[in-house]
Chain A
Amino acid sequence: MSRLEDAIAAGRFVLTAELLTVDTDGVYERFAPYEDYVDAVNATDNTAAHAHASPLAVAIALKQLGMEPVMQLTCRDRNRLALEAEIAGAALHGIENICCLTGDDVTAGDEPEARRVFDLDSIQLLALGRTMMNGAYLSGRRIDPAPRLFLGAVENAGAPPYDYRVDRALKKVRAGARFLQLQVGFRPEQTEVFMREAVEKGLAEQCALIPSICLVRSPGALRFIDANVPGIEVPPEIIERVESAADPEAECFEVACELAEHARSLPGVAGLHLISFRREAGIARLCQRLGIPTRESRAHSRPVAV
């Protein structure tokens, strides 16, 4: 059983983080500043449609360095054969946590002329993962031994159609998702509405819901996210607030702390996913500020003691 699955099954508050994109070096440096806090680290898959080292390669590197990986897999760049190969390859290396995403479109990246694939969608990818866990490829051909996997996905509470997002998440659970990392949101009221419905409809009971918190250093970064990252909207009041602050960097950190504190207080939230753009040390600082103990201390404390 993966460490993430174990922590979730035990009802402990979980922390995951997103590894900054990796090209040809520097995996350890990227997670070293917060390694004591997180249960697992996401190896991303060509984020925002920019090419980087493959998620499987990064996940293997993380594992070799003693950190548990969550391997992201998107439908944008691979057909079903390639997706099956990645999942089997992950299992071959003992990588269990797989986060299944649709993926940003190629037009969001720096090679917009590339062919988009989307042979499967994220829900079909989850179902494919579960098919493989049951010991077969899509064709029905047996896999022996069947891979041990802990499947997850992403849902965005902050994108239309807002009143369908929990239903979509439930569909992901039916397809095999056991955890959902929620897309970064700068509108706490949207997370709140989503979580309320998630509790009412039994979603929170069936899978671990993990809102994402994004740490940035400048109002410029917030503007960039607002303008360039599909599905994330940064309200102008937040940008104005950090811009007019005496110390904009400190104010950005305050905003992240407030959003994290708010998300953590919502019923049904199982943990947090932390994303830091070029400020990895901020993750440890945020944990300290929120009074979230290290992974070891959480493992030895009572469930949901945070």
Chain B
Amino acid sequence: MIAAVEAAVKKPIFGCHMCGQCVLHSTGLTCPMECPKTLRNGPCGGVRPDGRCEVKPEMRCVWVKAVERSRRLPWAHEIHDIRPPVDNRLEGTSSWVNLVTGRDKAAPRGWRV
């Protein structure tokens, strides 16, 4: 139920892919799962000179937008955080619920940065 509400709100605004571990806050309110390579830590090296995506030239690179937008936010430095690998089991679940339970912060046990 909550997941359905979250999807209804976030899909039209952010193109949310319901990864269940939302990082919009630290990526300039730009969903990194919109990136065809689902990169969570910045742009790949294939961005076109005009700032468009290597894979989908019809769209601007998600990370070009994320970097630009993050600079306008008071917490701009968060873009430099190293985000851990996605927990694929959370796909389709509500990141709001996972935030409250802390489930979205659980990185793989061996993960150190």
Contact = CB atoms under 8 A, between A and B. Distances in A.
Is the pairing of A and B real?
Answer: yes
Interface of A: 75-76, 80, 102, 104-105, 107-108, 116, 118-124, 127, 130-131, 134, 136-141, 154-156, 159-161, 164, 167-168, 170-171, 174-175, 183, 230-231, 233
Contacts of B113: 127, 174-175
Classify the interface of chain A: helix, strand, loop or mixed.
Answer: loop
Interface of B: 36-51, 54-55, 61, 63-64, 67-68, 80, 82-86, 88, 108-113
9 contacts: A108-B54, A119-B86, A123-B41, A138-B85, A156-B46, A161-B63, A171-B82, A175-B82, A231-B54
Given A140-B110, A160-B61, A231-B47, A105 B54 contact: yes
B49 to A, nearest CB: 5
A59 B43 CA distance: 28
Nearest to B61: A160
Contacts, number: 122
A104 B54 CA distance: 9
Contacts of B42: 121, 123, 164, 168, 171
B80 A102 contact: no
A155 B86 CA distance: 23
Given A118-B38, A124-B41, A130 B55 contact: no
Contacts of A159: 43, 45-49
Nearest to A135: B110
Nearest to A167: B80
